[in-house]
Structure 1
Amino acid sequence: MNDELRVLVERTADGEKYSELGGPKAWKQSEMTVEVFDISGRFAPLPPKWVGTAVPMILDYEQEAGTWSLIATFSSCESWYEAGRPRPPYLEYQSKNGGHWTPVALEERFLEKKANLLTGPRADGEPRLVTDSDKELRRRSAAPIFQSVLRTWGKEQENYCDTY
């Protein structure tokens, strides 16, 4: 998607507080959603609401093909296992001409692309509107897997999950 074009995205995240993950505000999600609202009138048709357990991190639109892509990653080894341990650890979903989100193979064009969605919703809630500058500040402080689409997942992470 052209970086100058903007859409409003509503995100939800349901889950439970999970202190073993790193403090009183840590949580384990059970469901996340992404819903796109076209505030510019440039994107038609819009995709349906995406619902899943992975962490959405990139939303992209290819106007010529009428295709929306959503890239998501994993917040736990269990969810990575359930998805078949993909390497790199990302899933891609596409919605063509407003159709259902369909899993597809991760496209090369997304490798090394920076996240453009908020990847770490807080367990205690978010403000109604998270600005681009707030989102970027939080992106830079996130774990590398959430900052951009890594070509390879570091051996440390793979070994941790493989021995988990």
Structure 2
Amino acid sequence: MIGASSMKIAVATIALVPVLRQTLLCTLVLATVGCSRMSESWKEEVRLSDDRLIEVERTAKGRITRDIAMRATGWIPEETTIRIPQLDGYAKPPVWRSGLIPVVMDYDRASSTWSVVATYMFCSTWYDMGRPASPYVQYDSVGGEAWRVVPLQPGWVGRRANLQTYIRPTGVPPRLREVDKEMDWRQSAEQFQFVSTTWKTNC
């Protein structure tokens, strides 16, 4: 009887091996989907309102989202940065850093102020921000001092994006020229093309 029972257990165990192998594989796939890390850095041409063309250094870090076939479908931002170089006649600000997507930046000579207007990509970010009425956040650095959040100024409404907002999870070219960004701009959603007051969140 003991021998027969042992044989049954052995047979059952062998039969379970393929099932356990498949379960382990599925677990590994599920753990990988949506969890791939992303870290990109590039140089980018930016046209300011005074028509000056400058080059900034940018980074984007986050998690790549993937479908079941492991193809990259997008990304979830965790941190984006902009490093503005020292320019003659311009105050040099510290590195701009946020979990939002920067849309447009500019410099006001009269007040020695750099400004960046950014928006969010996912509802979870909007909730973390306290569900603000405006989908945009304005950051100012006056005279090279630390960046601070200020109320969105009316003059930004309608401004066209001059920063790359379509960041490919498969990689960003090491240098983005103004003409390259124009092609991606046409494919972007409205909130990434202009600072728009008509765009409302669906969250």
AA paired with 2:80?
M
Aligned 8 A contact 1:25 1:124 in 2: no
- Partners of 2:117 and 2:164 in 1: how far apart? 12
Whether 1:17 and 2:64 are equivalent positions in the alignment is: yes
AA paired with 1:47?
P
Deviation at 1:87, TM superposition (A): 2.8
Aligned 8 A contact 1:11 1:35 in 2: yes
Deviation at 1:153, TM superposition (A): 2.1
Deviation at 1:131, TM superposition (A): 0.7
Deviation at 1:66, TM superposition (A): 0.1
Alignment deviations for residues 90-112 of structure 1 (CA, whole Å, 9 cap, x no partner): 00000000000000000000001
What SS does structure 1 have at the residue aligned with 2:132? coil
AA paired with 1:6?
L
- Partners of 1:33 and 1:125 in 2: how far apart? 16
AA paired with 2:65?
Y
AA paired with 1:18?
T
- Partners of 1:2 and 1:24 in 2: how far apart? 35
What is the TM-score with the length of structure 1 in the denominator?
Answer: 0.87
Mapping for residues 49-60 of structure 1, pairs under 5 Å: 49-60=95-106
- Partners of 2:119 and 2:184 in 1: how far apart? 17
- Equivalence for 2:84: 36
- Equivalence for 1:117: 163
Unaligned runs of 5+ in 2: 1-47
- Equivalence for 2:151: 105
Unaligned runs of 5+ in 1: none
- Equivalence for 1:26: 74
Among 132, 135, 149, the alignment partner of 1:86 is 132
AA paired with 1:27?
W
Deviation at 1:46, TM superposition (A): 1.1
What is the TM-score with the length of structure 2 in the denominator?
Answer: 0.71
- Partners of 1:120 and 1:51 in 2: how far apart? 18
What SS does structure 2 have at the residue aligned with 1:18? strand
| RMSD across aligned positions (CA) | 1.5
- Partners of 1:3 and 1:148 in 2: how far apart? 18
- Equivalence for 2:192: 146
